[in-house]
């Protein structure tokens, strides 16, 4: 006669969690969300207190080293937070391993492309100088 161990459902579930880096991922999500609070407040405060109604005003604002650095940090943290969140959704709800791999790879490529494009635009704006001959609207 074989001996069957009787356990409660909780006892059966213990030790069967993910062997992946779930706690590290969870911590990164919380850290980026906490970082986005002051960065988001700074961004909205800047929008409200500065006259950013035209292109030249926005460029002048972003040419400030302080605004440039905080905008870069805001973009970096927001894009990383978005990628982490979408990764969790895909890992939880896409059950086919092949599809999951392709979609996760796609998400990483899309968010990396967005980050590169955003930083290229920021660096380009930082390097602009406005003389009357260069500014064509």
Instruction: Specify burial of residue 32 (Cβ count, 10 A radius: 0-12, 13-18, 19+).
Output: buried
Residue 2, pLDDT > 60, answer no
The CATH code of the domain that includes 65 is 1.20.1300.10
- Give the model's confidence band at 132: pLDDT under 50 very low, under 70 low, under 90 confident, else very high: very low
Domain encompassing residue 105: 21-127
Residue 97, pLDDT > 90, answer yes
Residue 71 within a domain = yes
What domain count does the chain have?
1
What pTM value is reported for the model? 0.76
Residue 48 within a domain = yes
Residue 82 within a domain = yes
How does pLDDT run across 34-90, given as a tens digit for each residue?
999 999 999 999 999 988 888 888 899 999 999 999 999 999 999 999 999 999 999
Residue 15 within a domain = no
Residue 18: what are its φ and ψ, rounded to 5°?
Answer: -65, 140
d(CA 82, CA 63): 26
Residue 25 within a domain = yes
Residue 35 within a domain = yes
How does pLDDT run across 10-22, given as a tens digit for each residue?
655 555 555 566 7
Residue 60 within a domain = yes
Percent of the chain scoring above 90 in pLDDT: 64
Residue 8 within a domain = no
């Amino acid at each position: 006669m074989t001996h069957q161990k009787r356990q409660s459902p909780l006892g059966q579930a213990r030790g069967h969690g993910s062997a992946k880096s779930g706690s590290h991922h969870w911590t990164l999500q919380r850290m980026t969300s906490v970082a986005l609070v002051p960065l988001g407040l700074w961004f909205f405060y800047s929008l409200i207190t500065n006259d950013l109604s035209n292109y030249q005003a926005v460029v002048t604002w972003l040419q400030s080293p302080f605004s440039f650095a905080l905008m870069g940090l805001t973009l970096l943290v927001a894009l990383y937070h978005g990628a982490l969140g979408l990764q969790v959704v895909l890992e939880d709800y896409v059950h086919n391993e092949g599809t999951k791999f392709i979609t996760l790879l796609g998400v990483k490529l899309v968010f990396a492309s967005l980050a590169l494009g955003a930083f290229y635009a920021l660096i380009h704006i930082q390097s602009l100088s406005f003389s009357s001959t260069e500014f064509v609207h």
